[in-house]
Amino acid sequence: MKPIIVIVARGKGREGADSIKPVLFDTKEEAEKYIKSVNDLESKYWTYAEIVSNGQLIEPWYGKF
């Protein structure tokens, strides 16, 4: 079974992410639970996570939330 890939971006302000890291999960349910626990776009230091496919190109989205 292929791992579920979650990309986690963190930053301050809305200009861009200060860090981005991949996190691997065995199941989609575990990944979705993790995403719900870390996503926070309202704080000064925000965190955004999403499930991505291997090799998927991620367009910059920061500053759009």
At 19-64, the pLDDT tens digits run: 999 999 999 999 999 999 999 988 889 999 999 999 998 877 655 5
Q: Which domain holds residue 38?
A: 4-52
How many folded domains does the chain comprise?
1
In a domain, 61, yes or no: no
pTM value > 0.75:
yes
In a domain, 59, yes or no: no
Phi, psi dihedrals of residue 14, rounded to the nearest 5°: -120, 10
Question: Mapped to the 3 state alphabet, what secondary structure does the chain carry?
Answer: CCCEEEEEEEEECCCCCCEEEEEEECCHHHHHHHHHHHCECCCCEEEEEEEECCCCCCCCCCCCC
In a domain, 42, yes or no: yes
pLDDT above 80: residue 18 = yes
In a domain, 60, yes or no: no
In a domain, 22, yes or no: yes
